[in-house]
Structure 1
Amino acid sequence: MKQFFHLLYVLPLISFGQVEQGSNIHLVVDSLKNQLLYISQDFLVRLDATTLSKIGVQKILKPRNFDFHPLIKKNKLIFVEEKGGDVFELSKKDSLVRIENSNIKNFLIGSAVFIKKDTLFRHGGYGYWSQSNFFTYLAEQTKEWEVYPISNMSIKPIGVHNHLTLNDNFRFYFFGGHKLSHTGLRNNMSNDEVWSFDFQNRKWSFLTLRLKYVRGKCFFFITLLKNNYFFT
């Protein structure tokens, strides 16, 4: 625990040289290498997870206007485009090399990105005045994004973007974020629904949500199996 708080203090002090103010910062844990990866839009810093000492710094030469979400997949660091379907790996020459063949642009804004059984998944997202309510996954054989099939007996959840998610064994949960108005207007509405998906029977379930205010702040309390999670 002391190391965690020390990490929160040390990371902002790491010098990257010229880093744009306001750029996105990501922290990724590489458990196999026992490393913490501190990633800005232009640099990757590797830290020893035990001592928090700096192992190395690597530049990231990326396309223009490319915002990414870094993840560890099959022991490799990958970069997933936040608005579209592009997926990259970082080469030894510091360049991002594309590793998929899809052509999805500006359709996955605000989608949730996660790894399940070494497969890259996305859920939800917004683009072109529509909103997704399904999963897509990156197929290993074709290197293209495919729609993940669900049971014909399943109900269908709402479309959502910029939402919070949890993975608990064989279940996926989402809540919060925003949804589109059913009136056809392009107005974002706050999502107050909680849904879960069972990857074993491939069915969606609607869950309940309880709101509680503590000192003026709204906490979402959700009971998942025997565990309690809360978010602000």
Structure 2
Amino acid sequence: MKKRYAIFFTILSLSTFAFGQVHKGFQWISPDHSLFKIDINSGILSQDAPNKLKLELGKIQDWESIKSELPGDFGVNAFYQADSLLITIPGTGQIYSLDLPNLKLNRLDQTFFRGYNFNASQFFRKDTLFSIGGEGFWLKHSIITYYNPQTSEWAFYKLQKDNKHPSKNKFSGYSKEQDAFFSSFLEVDENLKNNKVPFRVYSFKNDSWEEKGFLSNPIIDFAKNNYRTIWTGKYLFLIFDNSDSKYYIAEPFENVLFEHKSTNDQFYLNNSELYFRNGKIFSRSMASPGKIDKLYFDSLSVDSLVNQSSIIGQVYGYNDFRNRNIGIALTTLLMLTASFLYYRKRKNLKMEDYTLTEVELLVVKKFINQTIGIKISSIELNNLLEISTKTYDNQRQIRYRIIGAINQKLRRDLDSKDLIFRSSNIEDKRMMDYYINPDIKAKDLEKLMKSLNL
């Protein structure tokens, strides 16, 4: 057993993956191509490696407690970074690290609200885990968030220019080389019928979204069928379900669309697990000749597949997008005028929008008058808010809502910083402690006190 763990971590230390592997249920593929799976009911972790017998490694510690936090139907993203494994559950904000030798899943986040980012694109950029877009609460969006390990929370990433079009993991991806993220939302019937699906790129260097044009007709027609995609960091493979005769390969940043004709009748089966690793696409599926299950496992070089493909056009077209600029130019003056009038109207409302309620002022006064570095416990905050008799969940929701509102309203006075931080209580991890952001300078607190007449 120890030898098997040593081999696993040796392989693990040689591999780093920036893009999550999307898998249904609590399962993922390791650097040595083993399929690890946690049985939801029993909590048993198993390892199924190619050309080896399936192994049961044991039951995850405290599985019943972990299981109670899981949604009913979910998939996970797995990220191997240096010598660690992070597992996220999109739609929940939950992040776990796996201690394999001790069969322990450690939850890293303190997420409470969930459900806004199912099918989001998640990836690592410069050692930071990002999540873009997704859907939930009857909304589809392109919100960018990142995980802050210092606060154990997901935070909003500030943008100079928002994207009004939704983003989803099926047709999107981050390029380390370009330091940019591309996205098109191919799930809207009206857009597909009208062949008007915007193709947009977010540049981390320029800190803004840019609309490049509209997706080309071959991709629009392709998206009207059931399909799967694989993002390699440079190429997006678009594979038809129920068809292994051909598929498309898109190079979104160079704007080149390839068509590849396949001769492999088993590699792209519907039940196959397809994923990218170290310059290759791997296919893994269970075949059942007779009564004996057999694992099919194969790989194809991405560069070879591209070289064997034919260029058939562009990922997106410019013409329609550029023609729109004529209309935009003609209406610029009108828009500026309308914006100015709107600004004047909103100017008088700004102070009202950012005015603290009596309860919020009471909380702020409590924190500002507190000795620097001293934390306020959940119990103290409950007493201050007079919510001690409410249920534990209600207490947590009320505290979360009030602290969030205070931070949001005071950011413009504190150079976009949150006033109040929170962390787990050292003695009781179930409880939270609250404290003034140590990055806020004393002179800024003094200015804040004067502006609030405290």
Flag whether TM exceeds 0.5 (same fold): yes
Q: Is the 8 A contact 2:247 2:259 kept in 1?
A: no
Letter of the 2:128 counterpart: T
Bigger shift: 219-228 or 137-146? 219-228
Aligned mates of 1:104, 1:230 — CA distance in 2 = 43
Q: How does 1:1-232 map to 2 (within 5 A)?
A: 26-29=28-31, 35-42=32-39, 43=45, 45=47, 58-59=57-58, 61=63, 62-63=66-67, 64=70, 65=72, 67-91=75-99, 92-151=101-160, 154-168=161-175, 169=177, 170-178=179-187, 192-208=197-213, 209-212=215-218, 219=248, 221-225=250-254
Aligned mates of 2:129, 2:258 — CA distance in 1 = 24
- Once the two structures are TM-superposed, the CA of residue 195 in structure 1 deviates from its matched residue by 1.5
Bigger shift: 78-87 or 63-72? 63-72
Q: Is the 8 A contact 1:119 1:137 kept in 2?
A: yes
SS of residue in 2 equivalent to 1:89? strand
Residue in 2 aligned with 1:8? none
Q: Is the 8 A contact 2:134 2:141 kept in 1?
A: yes
Q: 1:38/1:176 Cα in 2 relative to 1: closer, same or farther (>3 Å)?
A: farther
Q: 1:75/1:93 Cα in 2 relative to 1: closer, same or farther (>3 Å)?
A: closer
Q: Is the 8 A contact 1:159 1:179 kept in 2?
A: no
Aligned mates of 1:180, 1:147 — CA distance in 2 = 29
Aligned mates of 1:110, 1:94 — CA distance in 2 = 28
- Once the two structures are TM-superposed, the CA of residue 25 in structure 1 deviates from its matched residue by 5.1
SS of residue in 2 equivalent to 1:80? strand
- Which residues of structure 1 form unaligned runs of 5+? 1-21, 30-34, 183-189
- Once the two structures are TM-superposed, the CA of residue 177 in structure 1 deviates from its matched residue by 4.3
Letter of the 2:183 counterpart: F
Letter of the 1:70 counterpart: A
Q: 1:104/1:220 Cα in 2 relative to 1: closer, same or farther (>3 Å)?
A: farther
Aligned mates of 1:148, 1:101 — CA distance in 2 = 18
Q: 1:227/1:104 Cα in 2 relative to 1: closer, same or farther (>3 Å)?
A: farther
Q: Is the 8 A contact 2:87 2:95 kept in 1?
A: yes
- Once the two structures are TM-superposed, the CA of residue 57 in structure 1 deviates from its matched residue by 5.7
Normalising to structure 2: TM-score of the pair? 0.36
The sequence identity of aligned pairs, in percent, is 17
Normalising to structure 1: TM-score of the pair? 0.66
Residue in 2 aligned with 1:11? none
- Once the two structures are TM-superposed, the CA of residue 90 in structure 1 deviates from its matched residue by 1.7
Q: Is the 8 A contact 1:131 1:160 kept in 2?
A: yes
Aligned mates of 1:180, 1:144 — CA distance in 2 = 35
Q: Provide, for residues 174-232 of structure 1, a one-character-per-residue CA deviation record: whole Å limited to 9, x for no partner.
A: 234435989xxxxxxx993321111111111112321326999884745413766779x
Q: 1:165/1:228 Cα in 2 relative to 1: closer, same or farther (>3 Å)?
A: same
Q: If each structure's strand is expressed as a fraction of its own residues, which one has the higher value?
A: 1
Q: Provide, for residues 21-75 of structure 1, a one-character-per-residue CA deviation record: whole Å limited to 9, x for no partner.
A: x85753343xxxxx3342334335385xxx9768976455452546422112353
CA RMSD of aligned residues (A): 3.9
Q: Is the 8 A contact 2:27 2:76 kept in 1?
A: no
Q: 1:95/1:220 Cα in 2 relative to 1: closer, same or farther (>3 Å)?
A: same
Q: Is the 8 A contact 2:248 2:258 kept in 1?
A: no
Q: 1:24/1:97 Cα in 2 relative to 1: closer, same or farther (>3 Å)?
A: closer
- Which residues of structure 2 form unaligned runs of 5+? 1-23, 40-44, 223-242, 261-454
Letter of the 2:198 counterpart: E
SS of residue in 1 equivalent to 2:33? strand
Structure with higher RCO (Cα < 8 A, 6+ apart): 1
Aligned mates of 1:36, 1:218 — CA distance in 2 = 24
Larger Rg: 2
Q: Is the 8 A contact 2:168 2:183 kept in 1?
A: no
Task: Count matched residues.
Answer: 194
Q: If each structure's helix is expressed as a fraction of its own residues, which one has the higher value?
A: 2
Aligned mates of 1:143, 1:230 — CA distance in 2 = 44
SS of residue in 2 equivalent to 1:107? coil
- Once the two structures are TM-superposed, the CA of residue 146 in structure 1 deviates from its matched residue by 0.3
Residue in 2 aligned with 1:16? none
